[in-house]
Structure 1
Amino acid sequence: MKTFDEALHHLLTHVDITTKTETVPVGAALGRILAEPVVSPVNVPPHDNSMMDGYALHSFDLEHNNILEVSQRIPAGAQPEPLKAGTAARIFTGAPIPEGANIVIMQEETEQLAENQVKITAQKPKAGQNIRIVGEDIKARATILKQGHKLRAQDLGLITSIGTAEVKVYLPLTIATFTTGDELLEPGQAPQPGKIFNANRYVLAGLIPELGFKLLDLGRVEDTLEATVMAMKEAAEIADVVVTTGGVSVGEEDHIKPAIEQLGSLDMWKVKMKPGKPLAYGDIQGTPFIGLPGNPVSAFATFNLFARPYLLKMQGASAYKAKPVWLKADFEWTKPGFRREFARARLINKNQQSFVEIYPQQGSGVLTSTVWADGFVVIPEDNVIRQGDKVAFYPFNAVNE
């Protein structure tokens, strides 16, 4: 049996990062992973410009006179004339600074005396104030986003601010899934004695596309070795990775392990964690395979803790491991266990402080806990937790993934 850290390390060291790429318009690149760095061909801003509406002038002129002629008007997008000595230019936010000016006085610190005359009332103005200099945000030839970065809305704005229309990204991985278990019913079917509804299928149908992958749902496979082998062959032929739920224990009706051993190799079997002790990893005729437990919470937990970082790394993402937030416990955990536990938990605020509380029922069949919770709290092996202790909290929706 592997520890959680050993299992995750084993999994991540066996990832082969995809090499399949495509070039897409920036507007269609949200959520995609960059396959090459984005380098700016230009300075941003491309010229010195005004930070606000006001008057552009040379600070030297204010040493002799605070009433100046307004010699030109410069809106954003205009090309100004060189500034006439001893005068000011009416200027607007984003407009280029005219040659000969080195300061912008905000309009609130001026008084218009006539149509073409302004009085400067600013106290102790300094050269360079209220001017954005060329390249202040981005220098030409600077790398603004690195390979492996997952593109967010603000990234698309940054890319288009340098005039780039297309980006090279990795093709989304294709993930084939199926669930096993003759006890499973599909939603809409009439309840039957001894049967349960197939929740795991729809959990995966949400988790996989949510990460930006293409889902191929092969449905439910009957609990026979022959059916499991056939489903695995089909999945391996059409997908980059195969993910299943159920059938990874050691019972007579659990066929994932013998099927994998027929078709490929099984590298990992049990993990010292709760929920999610049974976990399978291997390959089906060269296609990576991850087998999740059948219990709904165990399947949800092992996907988030193992499959998600594995798939993100394979997709080429540079950020694939979730980062913990350290918070005070608003609960007691008095019975230490030999396995690492991932308790379903949520954030609460008390007296302007953030705490984390856990769901009262932590069983692997209590799917309600995953809906109630915001993430997992880690209970280390052989540890107790007291009220107010610092604990590691991993949000379900990881930041910077």
Structure 2
Amino acid sequence: MKSNSLSGIVSCLSAYDPDALTVAHAQQIIHDYIEPITSSERVAIRSALDRVLAQDVISTIDVPAHDNSAMDGYALRGADLADVATLQLRLVGSVHAGHRFDGQVGSGECVRIMTGAVMPDGCDTVIPQELVDAADALTVSLSTSRVRSGDNRRRRGEDLQRGQAALSKGKVVRPADLGLLASLGLAEVVVQRRLRVAFFSTGDELRSVGEALAPGAVYDSNRYTLYGMLTRLGCEVIDMGVVGDDPAALETALRDAAANADAVITSGGVSVGEADYTKQTMAALGEMLFWKIGMRPGRPMAFGRVGMEGRQAYLFGLPGNPVAVMVSFYFIVRDALLRLSGANYAPLPRLRVRSQSAIRKKPGRTEYQRGIVSRQEDGEWTVRLTGAQGSGILRSMSDANCIIVLEHDQGEVRLNDQVEVVLFDGMV
């Protein structure tokens, strides 16, 4: 991990105020503090899906390996097309994919060819079979206006050339990448080891699923949403359950988590009015910052690192309200974990759509409203709120298919104003 301190990073940040921190400043501090893991492993390419490449993948072959036909049709010499309106060619053979034509193709001759077949020597053009005027076992007639020299030929190495980087270090492997790796003949690839993330919830009022509810108790939902979000992100998860309001239990949980994980996520215990020991215990075990971020939901947050026997883990202390946990994860923790995993990443893409309602908003904080994007009969995309937007209303996240992002300096949204949304597809 980096030797630079959190205090050193924030000292370089103009107008830093832990009690009034913007989302952008919080994201920047976390980005500057986190250092990616470096451990890697070699896996079969089918096991590489959603993993992060630990090194560039260099092509050892040309792809395709030969000039080949992009169409079913007839391979011919492009020079034969010059200065004539119609052309009759003598058919001298045929070739299928996986084979090659060993003969020579002279002027005025052609070869029946299938998609993917190697181009015969002397041929540089393919006319699709549906564009020829007439064809029999001996000749093919065509209009030269229907084809140009070089048409429908895939050139050797046009996809990848030997020695070229096929995939870059830090890329998250997607289905198309598996196919690309296979096209290079690679059975294995080197990837970053999976990020290990431990998480637990805090609070005497919390019960795990299956336990009886006493008066005042509630079921813990945060561990389940965190499990889902972390799993979708490709992390190895360590669910440490519920930790009660006890300083010794919290210290033990943090020490165990730091000893076994790269990052630790807690929910609850970081907001004003919570027991002071939570912050004290976190700070005693490492270097921590406690923030009041200008965002809704999700204002209170702790960030830093905690250690155990020489091993340290990054710590994200999230608020306890269910929606606040999810919003904080997606817009602050997600990118931090991607950086920690060594992945190349970009901010979640946003779309501008028309709001079906007015939304109350004052400048000075970033707000994340739960919405439902739909397409109207005229083809325009619009968004409407899911209903009540309280940070404890988890159903608002379940009903939603997007988050409406209202930026820090933005004010009221009027009916039919354009707003930015982040779609859940691809995010959750």
Instruction: Provide structure 1 residue ranges, at least 5 long, that are not aligned to the other structure.
Output: none
CA contact (8 A) 1:83 1:98 kept: yes
Deviates more, 1:148-157 or 1:182-191: 182-191
Residue 125 (structure 1) aligns with: 147
The one-letter code matched in structure 1 to 2:100 is: Q
Q: CA RMSD in A?
A: 2.0
How far the C-alpha of 1:153 sits from its partner, in A, is 0.3
How far the C-alpha of 1:287 sits from its partner, in A, is 1.8
> How far, CA to CA, are the matches of 1:69 and 1:4 in structure 2?
71
**Cα gap change, 1:375 to 1:255, in 2 (>3 Å):** farther
Residue 226 (structure 1) aligns with: 248
The one-letter code matched in structure 2 to 1:51 is: A
> How far, CA to CA, are the matches of 1:190 and 1:117 in structure 2?
84
Residue 172 (structure 2) aligns with: 150
Q: Does the residue aligned with 1:66 lie in a helix, a strand or coil? A: strand
Residue 382 (structure 2) aligns with: 355
How far the C-alpha of 1:122 sits from its partner, in A, is 5.4
Q: Does the residue aligned with 1:309 lie in a helix, a strand or coil? A: helix
CA contact (8 A) 2:265 2:315 kept: yes
Residue 417 (structure 2) aligns with: 389
The one-letter code matched in structure 2 to 1:130 is: N
Match of 2:217 among 195, 198, 212: 195
Residue 259 (structure 1) aligns with: 281
How far does the alpha carbon of each residue in 1:286-342 deviate from its partner, in whole angstroms, 9 at most, with x for none?
321111111111111111111111001100111153232222222212342543211
**Cα gap change, 1:381 to 1:112, in 2 (>3 Å):** closer
How far does the alpha carbon of each residue in 1:184-230 deviate from its partner, in whole angstroms, 9 at most, with x for none?
12222233211111101111111111100000111111111111011
Residue 295 (structure 1) aligns with: 321
The one-letter code matched in structure 2 to 1:272 is: G
Q: Does the residue aligned with 2:396 lie in a helix, a strand or coil? A: helix
Residue 308 (structure 1) aligns with: 334
Residue 90 (structure 2) aligns with: 69
CA contact (8 A) 1:232 1:284 kept: yes
Match of 1:376 among 399, 403, 407: 403
How far does the alpha carbon of each residue in 1:247-269 deviate from its partner, in whole angstroms, 9 at most, with x for none?
11233536421111221121232
**Cα gap change, 1:326 to 1:100, in 2 (>3 Å):** same
Residue 216 (structure 1) aligns with: 238
Instruction: Provide structure 2 residue ranges, at least 5 long, that are not aligned to the other structure.
Output: 1-18
> How far, CA to CA, are the matches of 2:284 and 2:80 in structure 1?
87
> How far, CA to CA, are the matches of 1:125 and 1:370 in structure 2?
55
How far does the alpha carbon of each residue in 1:136-174 deviate from its partner, in whole angstroms, 9 at most, with x for none?
222222222221111110111122222222221110111
> How far, CA to CA, are the matches of 1:288 and 1:228 in structure 2?
16
The one-letter code matched in structure 1 to 2:90 is: E
> How far, CA to CA, are the matches of 1:89 and 1:301 in structure 2?
62
The one-letter code matched in structure 1 to 2:41 is: E
> How far, CA to CA, are the matches of 1:126 and 1:277 in structure 2?
64
Q: Does the residue aligned with 2:279 lie in a helix, a strand or coil? A: helix
Q: Does the residue aligned with 2:293 lie in a helix, a strand or coil? A: strand
How far the C-alpha of 1:83 sits from its partner, in A, is 2.5
> How far, CA to CA, are the matches of 2:364 and 2:132 in structure 1?
73
* Structure 2 counterparts to residues 2-401 of structure 1, below 5 A: 2-61=21-80, 66-85=87-106, 86-110=108-132, 114-121=136-143, 123-253=145-275, 255-285=277-307, 286-336=312-362, 338-350=364-376, 351-381=378-408, 383-398=411-426
Give the TM-score taking structure 2 as reference length: 0.88
Deviates more, 1:141-150 or 1:78-87: 78-87
CA contact (8 A) 2:196 2:263 kept: yes
The one-letter code matched in structure 1 to 2:388 is: Q
Deviates more, 1:203-212 or 1:54-63: 54-63
CA contact (8 A) 2:100 2:119 kept: no
CA contact (8 A) 2:73 2:128 kept: yes
> How far, CA to CA, are the matches of 1:217 and 1:4 in structure 2?
27
**Cα gap change, 1:337 to 1:55, in 2 (>3 Å):** closer
> How far, CA to CA, are the matches of 2:171 and 2:135 in structure 1?
54
Q: Report how many aligned residue pairs link the two structures.
A: 400
> How far, CA to CA, are the matches of 2:274 and 2:122 in structure 1?
86
